[in-house]
């Protein structure tokens, strides 16, 4: 079961990002042990300093907004979407994500936003995927860097045209469905209003496969 899960993750997330996450987990585990040992040796310091721990990230809770740009990957079967012979479009495009969220506790947040994976085309065929996404994010809260995972629902819209060799004129396509979305990322946690995060996301979309988005985002917290 574990090899199958790892294969699915590698199909959605770049290998380099998975290695980065593994390194981050190892580093955070080491840092957590070091912080605990350091706190045990500093009993004579002030109460504010002794209370500092890897879970002390209260300054990053509350309402926040995020804006992200990145690179998407799409493989859309516009032929099947037009009820014709399979005809796939494959490519990369500029992706966009705008979101607002609420983080009541350091360990999790809820987020709602708009996401556009961009447009891919070939010949007289093209396809664009966008939609709204509602998701929950779970964090490994540490003082300077948070590793997080995302799970949500992506209300996707796929539209464009199919202009394959078996049709005299391009056939418009338009599909709307709701499927799963998931992601993994790293975000800074400097205690300021502004932070930065890197994230790789994967999406299940009807008539499409290997749909993913890698972004860099600026996050503004309304402290």
**Under a CB-based contact definition with an 8 Å cutoff, are residues 89 and 121 in contact?**
yes
User: For a pLDDT cut of 90, what percent of the chain falls above it?
Assistant: 48
**Under a CB-based contact definition with an 8 Å cutoff, are residues 120 and 130 in contact?**
no
The highest-level CATH class for domain 61-221 is: mainly beta
Query: What is the arithmetic mean of pLDDT over 177-204?
Result: 93
Please give the DSSP secondary-structure letter assigned to residue 123: T
Tens digit of each residue's pLDDT (9 = 90 or more) over 87-145 = 888 989 999 999 999 999 989 999 999 999 999 888 888 999 999 999 999 999 888 89
Query: What is the arithmetic mean of pLDDT over 47-72?
Result: 69
Confidence of residue 61 (pLDDT cuts 50, 70, 90): confident
Q: Select from 103, 97, 90, 129 the least CA-distant residue to 115.
A: 97
End-to-end CA distance of the chain: 43
Domain ranges of the chain: 61-221
CA distance 156 to 209: 13
Q: Mind giving me the DSSP string for 5-66?
A: HHHHHHHHS-HHHHHHHHHHHHHHHHHHHHHHHHHHT-TTS-HHHHT--TT--GGG-EEEEE
Q: What's the whole-model pTM score?
A: 0.72
CA distance 65 to 74: 26
Tens digit of each residue's pLDDT (9 = 90 or more) over 1-45 = 444 444 444 454 454 444 444 444 444 444 444 334 444 444 444
CA distance 161 to 59: 48
């Amino acid at each position: 079961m574990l090899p199958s899960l790892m294969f699915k993750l590698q199909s959605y997330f770049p290998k380099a990002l998975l290695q980065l996450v593994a390194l981050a987990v190892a580093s955070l585990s080491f840092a957590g042990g070091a912080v605990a040992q350091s706190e045990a040796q500093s009993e004579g310091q002030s109460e504010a300093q002794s209370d500092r721990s890897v879970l002390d990230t209260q300054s990053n809770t509350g309402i926040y907004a995020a804006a992200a740009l990145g690179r998407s990957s799409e493989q859309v079967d516009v032929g099947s979407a037009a009820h014709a012979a399979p005809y796939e479009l494959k490519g990369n495009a500029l992706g966009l994500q705008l979101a607002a969220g609420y983080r009541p506790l350091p360990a999790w947040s809820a987020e709602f936003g708009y996401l556009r994976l961009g447009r891919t085309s070939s010949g007289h065929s093209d396809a664009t995927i966008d939609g709204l996404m509602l998701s929950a994010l779970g964090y490994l809260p540490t003082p300077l860097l948070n590793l997080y995972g995302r799970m949500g629902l992506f209300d996707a819209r796929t539209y464009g045209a199919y202009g394959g060799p078996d049709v005299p004129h391009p056939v418009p396509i338009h599909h709307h469905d709701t499927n799963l979305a998931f992601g993994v990322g790293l975000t800074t946690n400097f205690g300021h209003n502004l932070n930065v995060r890197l994230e790789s996301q994967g999406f299940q979309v009807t008539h499409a496969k290997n749909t993913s988005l890698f972004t860099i985002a600026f996050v503004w917290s309304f402290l």
